[in-house]
Structure 1
Amino acid sequence: MEYLFLIILLVFMIGMMFFQTRKAKQQQEERKNFWSNLAPGTEIVTIGGLIGKVVEVDEQYEEIVLDSEGTLLRFTFRAISREYVRPAYVSDDDVDENGNPIDHSADQQEAQPQQIEATVEETVTETDADNQAPMPKQ
């Protein structure tokens, strides 16, 4: 019984190591493909958060030259985090006070005025009658 537990634990640990190394190899392969597909004009983000356009790629030395608002900077491939995807612009007029987008299709459908009819019944209770006693004249 004791050996069965150790065997199960050993198989579990080997399985975890196998899947972790497999995932790491896939990520490394994706990074290599990304680096090899870098071309001038691609907007990227560095690991430091700098956003710039690729000007030159030197695959021999694994270096890249970025243009960030007129400044040319040289980085290694390892300093490149990901391709920059500019978020969609949303005007301040198109968001509510919480920053959520406003649905303008609801504004186009005008609300139709509705006639509301209600009947109100008034009843007088004993406490109401006591409180409504006439005030003495002064």
Structure 2
Amino acid sequence: MDQNTLFIIVIVVMLAGMMFWQSHKAKQQQQKVKDFRESLQPGTEVITIGGVIGKVVSVDSRYEEIVIDSDGSVMRFTFRSISKEYVRPAYVDDSEVDEHGNPLPSANPTDADGADQVPVDSDPDATVPDSGDGVRVEPIQEPEASDASTIQKDAPGAGNVAAPREL
């Protein structure tokens, strides 16, 4: 056998292996879908391929139909139009997380023993004591309001700015 024949045999064997593997995965997926459809019972929440969410009212295996109640609207679908069982995603309100998406601490912080946690002082003018690493955190001081009619004459571009007029 020359190298070309050996190369062709290896390619054909690899293609046959990939086809078998893909076929096996497809059969597993089809079996999973079939088992899901057979296990549908009244009361199960499902979502259709069109996005309709509802509870199963009745299942007719003979005609492969399912009746769904979606907020009072009763609709009939085929088994093939049921996508999956609906599981409501977790919802977190924006007031429950900080600006980075991290959960806020509860109002009553408690640890396993609850002794080492202290509520944060809500006074914005309070200073944080030195933490032992030589860093002392001071609150940010807002600049005092300045008179809008004064313009710095030596600022770059100040000559192009018109002074505000009195109305």
Asked if Structure 1 and Structure 2 have the same fold, meaning a TM-score greater than 0.5 normalized by the shorter chain, the answer is: yes
The TM-score normalised by the length of structure 2 is 0.63
Q: Is 1:76 matched with 2:78?
A: yes
Q: Which structure 2 segments of 5+ residues have no match?
A: 110-116, 121-127, 137-167
Secondary structure, aligned partner of 1:33 = helix
Alpha-carbon distance in 2 for matches of 1:3, 1:95? 65
- Alignment partner, residue 102 of structure 1: 103
Identity %: 54
**Cα distance, 1:104 vs structure 2:** 1.2
Distance 1:38 1:101 in 2: 38
> Which structure carries more helix by proportion?
1
Distance of aligned partners of 1:117 and 1:102 in 2 relative to their CA distance in 1, 3 Å threshold: closer
1:113 aligns with 2:129: yes
**What's the RMSD between the two structures over aligned residues?**
2.3
Gapped regions of structure 1 (runs ≥ 5)? 119-138
Aligned mates of 1:47, 1:96 — CA distance in 2: 35
Asked if the contact 2:98–2:104 (Cα under 8 Å) also holds between the matched residues in 1, the reply is: no
Report the count of equivalent residues: 116
CA–CA distance in 2 between the matches of 1:95 and 1:74? Answer: 41
Letter in 1 for 2:130: Q
Q: Which residue of 2 aligns with 1:9?
A: 11
Offset of 1:47 from its aligned partner?
A: 0.5
Distance 1:117 1:38, change over 3 A: closer
Structure 2 residue 43 is the aligned partner of structure 1 residue 41: yes
Larger RCO: Structure 1 or Structure 2 (Cα < 8 Å, ≥ 6 residues apart)? 1
Q: Which amino acid aligns with 1:21?
A: S
Equivalent position to 1:87, from 86, 89, 102: 89
Q: Of the candidates 47, 53, 56, which is equivalent to residue 54 of structure 1?
A: 56
- In 1, distance between residues paired with 2:92 and 2:23? 42
C-alpha change, 1:4 and 1:103, in structure 2 (3 Å) is farther
Q: 2 CA distance for matches of 1:19 and 1:72?
A: 42
Where do 4+ consecutive residues of structure 1 move more than 6 Å? none
Following superposition, the deviation at residue 92 of structure 1 comes to 2.4
TM-score (normalised: structure 1):
0.75
